Amino acid sequence: MLRLTKKADYGLMALKYLAEQAQCPSASQPISGAASAKAIADAYHIPPQLLAKILQTLAKAGLLVSHAGTNGGYALARDAHDISAFEVIRAIDGPLFITSCITIHGTCDLAGHCTIKEPLRKVNDSITDLLSKLRIADLIEHADHPPDAALAGGLVTIAR
Amino acid sequence: MLRLTKKADYGLMALKYLAEQAQCPSASQPISGAASAKAIADAYHIPPQLLAKILQTLAKAGLLVSHAGTNGGYALARDAHDISAFEVIRAIDGPLFITSCITIHGTCDLAGHCTIKEPLRKVNDSITDLLSKLRIADLIEHADHPPDAALAGGLVTIAR
DNA sequence: AGAAGCAAGACTCATTTGGTCGCATATTGT
DNA sequence: ACAATATGCGACCAAATGAGTCTTGCTTCT
């Protein structure tokens, strides 16, 4: 069905939450703009343990920095403008390929009988490109300027 | 992992096969450019029974016409230029939504707590648009003119 | 009549997802 | 020092999905 896993969803939501935190930092935190896994989970009604694991993978991937101990938690490792949705999805769901033909080694399971991998690889690249252009910062809705900006940047014309 | 199911893969391969058949029709067939499920399955080493079911769904969706009996088989219901990859995928895999937030009724499973559905819906629309622009005819590689034509049509710039 | 082919549903099996539990380790406040 | 608060990590489990098979029946051509 060509869909993101819930984990990736949760990851994006968490990153968005942290990006918002970073905008109004409270000085009492070891890391600026940090929040604990439990706090984020509560905010979005996500199973806390599950989110914890997701944030750990994100931290391992270098997208988040973590800090243990009281008042610890996670914070964005980079500016929200410098983290793409693609990185997040890739860190959580692994390398994404639109078709089973395209594997990491570039070999096709169908042992050469697959005849459609070339055109689909291009679609794949386009989607990758699309998600790379979408940044965490774009997920935050600003009342003044519409969040469409990232996608409308000449790359893709959006139908209807 | 954001990937197509194998069924959709098989479906696209079969459609491509039929599109090629339609180019050089043999007069002995009840439908011009027809091929049996078994013939296609043999050509690509796909499990015959599985492909049969896929072709049936495709026929029910109106993308193929079927003809039972000896020398029967399937043929494209329309010209290969008028069938998009999107229709095929949608017929086989069902409506595709990039995130679990976006359902058929537009309601979010997370009961309003999901904050990222709007930007993702736009990505979703872009992918839909992308796949709609890719036609079956584009899957056939012509030695003379490159199959890139459809994707390079100003819609998306392909990275690397 | 019989072979070739489609139509359709039930059913099995493996993989993936979503989620939980428990324990270890690190940090901080008192 | 010690308890409270957090992350880090691995094992585990159940439900859903995906891939593929089997069986039975129907249609058309020879």
* Each residue's pLDDT tens digit, A12-53: 999 999 999 987 656 556 667 799 999 999 999 999 999 999
pLDDT attached to residue A151: 45
pLDDT attached to residue B38: 97
Most A CBs within 10 Å, among B83, B97, B118, B123, to test the A interface: B123
pLDDT attached to residue B143: 45
- List, for residues B132-146, the tens digit of each pLDDT value: 999 999 998 754 444
pLDDT attached to residue B67: 96
**Which residue is the nearest neighbor of C28, CA to C1'?**
A70
User: pLDDT-derived band of residue A147, with 50, 70 and 90 as boundaries?
Assistant: very low
| Å separating the CA of residue B6 from the C1' of nucleotide C9 | 21
Which of the two residues, A155 and B21, has the higher pLDDT score? B21
Residues of A in contact with B134 (CB under 8 A): 119, 123
pLDDT attached to residue B122: 87
pLDDT attached to residue A113: 57
Whether the per-residue pLDDT at A158 is higher than 60: the answer is no
Protein side of the strand C interface (CB < 7 A): A 5-7, 30, 47-50, 53, 67-72, 93; B 1, 36-38, 49, 52-53, 55-56, 59-60, 66-74, 100
| A98–B3 CB contact, under 8 Å | yes
Q: Give the pLDDT mean for A72-79.
A: 96
For B67, residues 6+ apart whose C-beta sits below 8 A from its C-beta are B30, B31, B34, B73, B74, B75
pLDDT attached to residue A4: 87
Residues of chain B with pLDDT below 70 are 1, 24-30, 100-114, 142-160
Most confident of A77-91, A140-154, B87-101: A77-91
**Domain boundaries of chain B, sorted by first residue:** 6-153
CB B123, CB A151: distance < 8 Å = yes
Whether the per-residue pLDDT at A114 is higher than 50: the answer is yes
pLDDT attached to residue B113: 57
CATH architecture for segment(s) A6-153:
Orthogonal Bundle (1.10)
pLDDT attached to residue B28: 59
CB A34, CB A72: distance < 8 Å = yes
- List, for residues A8-21, the tens digit of each pLDDT value: 999 999 999 999 99
| B13–A148 CB contact, under 8 Å | no
Cβ neighbours, 10 Å, residue A158: 13
φ and ψ of B153, to 5 deg: -70, 40
What is the amino acid identity at position B47? P
C-alpha distances in angstroms, B158 versus A2, A80, A128?
A: 20, 25, 10
Q: Give the pLDDT mean for A72-100.
A: 91
Helix (H) or strand (E) holding A73: strand A73-76
CB pairs under 8 A between A and B: 162
pLDDT attached to residue B118: 82
